[in-house]
Amino acid sequence: MITSFIRIKRKISKKCATWVTRRLFREQRITTGANLIAVGVPIVDKEPGSSITIGRNCILCSNDYSNPIGLNHRTVIRTLASGATITIGDDVGISGASICAMSSVTIGNEVMLGVNVQISDTDFHPIKPEGRRFNKNSADIGTAPTTIEDNVWVGANSVVLKGVTIGKNSIIGAGSIVSGSIPANCIAAGVPARVIKHLDVIEA
């Protein structure tokens, strides 16, 4: 049972974290919509010449109590090169996820990113073996835009790799590795993720 003291402490902590996060975003010239909430302060790093945009009513969870199963680390939002873009839509919930862009990561509206999800548009290191550890030449590092469309739920501990598009309304099962695009209106899971069920969706 959560006592009144703990509730008050958490409420104050959330207000403080939100204030600090908004200030951090302003200092890095990150565009945010109204009603941003931060539970704990995220890790945010924007390379010069890149852009990060976050929509309205988003919540960034970076504290253990913000999710029932806890977080491995704070939410990470990071661009890695000049010209890179991260675009996050409205009403998005992020729980200790990592989002890294060398070129482009786009997340739609009403997306839920479960605990410790990883999303990137790059291999981070070259495939060719010669000098791999020290080779920072962007021409040798695989990069392709990654897109998560509206109302997608990516389950805990899943990894979404470069060049992937996840179609709207779809669900990615916990612990999946998404190495190829997933169509709209389905459930996909596994390593690599495969469609296991199609959803009945009533279009408005």
- Give the bridge partners for 54, in sequence order: 32, 88
Q: Give, rounded to a whole angstrom, the gap between the first and last alpha carbons of the chain.
A: 41
Asked whether the beta carbons of 83 and 50 are under 8 A apart, the reply is yes
- Token look-up 């990071």 returns 78
Q: Which residues contact 117 (CB under 8 A, 6 or more apart)?
A: 95, 97, 98, 154, 155, 156, 157, 158, 159, 160
Q: Which amino acid is at 97?
A: A
Helix (H, G, I), strand (E, B) or coil at 140: helix
Asked whether the beta carbons of 102 and 138 are under 8 A apart, the reply is yes
The one catalytic residue in 10, 125, 168, 194 is 125
Handedness of CA 133, 138, 141, 146 (dihedral sign): positive
Provide the token pair at 30: 């990150």
Is 125 noted as a catalytic residue in this protein? yes
Provide the token pair at 127: 């495939």
C-alpha closest to that of 66 among 85, 90, 24, 38:
38
Number of other CB atoms surrounding residue 174 within 10 Å: 16
- Name the residues annotated as catalytic: 125
